[in-house]
Amino acid sequence: MEELAVKPLSDGVLFTAKVVPCSSKTSLCGLLDGMLKIKIAAAPEKGKANKCLIELLATAIGVKKNAVSIVSGQSHSVKHVQVLGVSKETLLKKLGL
């Protein structure tokens, strides 16, 4: 069974997300090659899709928006996302993985 590749950090976790902008709705779509696949309704212009991604993940995981950050890949579809204040187990449980 495929599992999300999550790297534990001293203050949170780091994982990779595959983002599909301009989708019909914003939602978590499961796993794709060890990455979390996420559809975003917002267009990838002026940071709108990134903002939407952060809001979706913060709500799904149950943390404040400032605890979620895009470490790399701001202008690419594959992004490295850091979430502060959660463990790997908590992240997987909250995301339904």
Print pLDDT tens along the chain (97 aa): 589 999 999 999 999 999 999 999 999 999 999 999 999 999 999 999 999 999 999 999 999 999 999 999 999 999 999 999 999 999 999 999 8
The domain ranges of the chain are 6-94
Reported pTM: 0.95
Rounded to whole angstroms, how far apart are CA atoms 4 and 97? 8
- For 49-64, letters b (16+ CB in 10 Å) and e give bbebbbebbbebbebe
- For 29-38, letters b (16+ CB in 10 Å) and e give eebeeebbeb
Classify domain 6-94 at the CATH topology level. Conserved Hypothetical Protein Mth637; Chain: A; (3.30.1200)
Which residues touch 89 (CB under 8 Å, ≥6 apart)? none
